[in-house]
Structure 1
Amino acid sequence: MSRGLSIDVFAETNPAFCSLAIRSFLQGYIESANIGAEFPTLFIVLPIAASEAQTPSFEATNKTTGLFTWLQRSPFVTLDLARRIDRTARFTRAAIHFGLQQRLIKIESGLFLPLDEGLLKKAPSSDAVGDVMKRSHRLGFWTGEIKSAPTVFNALGITI
């Protein structure tokens, strides 16, 4: 990542980085759900977990916090979320495409699953990049506990 380039801009313009964030989300999701994630849930990763503006909402949380408790503590996460999802959708689609090509993720029975045999077995763990991967994994774990895209989006204040 070049100096002066925020993690948000880097995330939104780099399909490899975004793919790793999505794979981390899927790793967390499958860890709690024991099944793959539905397609729509992948679109929350970039505007939430890869955004520096959302970093404070993840402070003092862990895997056991849960989506509903997290949203209750940090309701600002939902502010303008539909627009942020719409703004990052093309980058999410590019990341999914890249992830499938590079064998970072796969689709099985219509659900998305992480793979550990592709481009990188483990995501980079430098400061900002590692933090995005941790937040993505945590968000995936919380989302996987719910196992329902409509319920997740409803909790986020979005109708799908």
Structure 2
Amino acid sequence: MSVAHDIYAETNPAFCAHALVAFTAAFISNNESGPEIPSTYLALPIALSGNLGHTFEGTNKKTGLLEWLNRRPEVQIELADLVNVSMDIVTEAIRFGCFSQLLAVNPGARLGLGSQKVKKSAVVALSAVPAQCIKRAERLGFWFASAGSTRTVFDMMGLTV
């Protein structure tokens, strides 16, 4: 029996909003101001990318963005293309997150956590691949917050804002 991998399910606004909540919560735990919205256009495509999933092996929240990039320079290959093709997905995730009150846009175009919480039963029900996407989004949240500004994150990754 072959198992089908449902790409659409992993790019739907609800799932992507859940990943952004994980990213934002991790970021806020290290930097209370929250992530600037442009950083989500970088974090979400990386977290969702099946091609980059293996690059997170052997890392944890203390690894840091620069160390990860030094270990895995292949992350930067075609990164701009990945970000560009996923812009609509990220925009819809932010909208869904805000409309469902999982996320909030705060002053300075920064994301914050909304008044609603992701249900624990939804998190537990995730299969291995989607659960890893959420874990990667969370890890990126820690790393981006530790790196400093959004400009610094983009510079480290070889991109311009």
TM-score, reference length from structure 2: 0.89
Aligned residues: 155
Task: Give the superposition deviation at 1:9.
Answer: 4.3
1:4 counterpart residue number: 4
State the Cα RMSD in Å. Answer: 1.6
CA distance in structure 2 between the aligned counterparts of 1:20 and 1:116, rounded to whole angstroms? 14
Native 8 Å contact 2:64 2:147 kept in 1: no
TM-score, reference length from structure 1: 0.90
Instruction: Report the CA distance shift for 1:103/1:62 in structure 2 as closer, same or farther (over 3 A).
Output: same
Native 8 Å contact 1:11 1:46 kept in 2: no
CA distance in structure 2 between the aligned counterparts of 1:147 and 1:37, rounded to whole angstroms? 10
Which residue of 34, 44, 48 maps to 2:32? 34
1:55 counterpart residue number: 53
- Secondary structure of 1:34 counterpart: coil
Comparing 92-101 and 138-147, the one that deviates more: 138-147
Which residue of 67, 70, 73 maps to 2:68? 70
Could you list the runs of 4 or more consecutive aligned residues of structure 1 that deviate by over 6 angstroms after TM superposition? none
Percent identity over the alignment is: 34
Q: Which amino acid aligns with 2:69?
A: L
CA distance in structure 1 between the aligned counterparts of 2:57 and 2:130, rounded to whole angstroms? 16
Task: Give the superposition deviation at 1:115.
Answer: 3.1
The runs of 5 or more residues in structure 1 that have no matched partner are: none
The runs of 5 or more residues in structure 2 that have no matched partner are: none
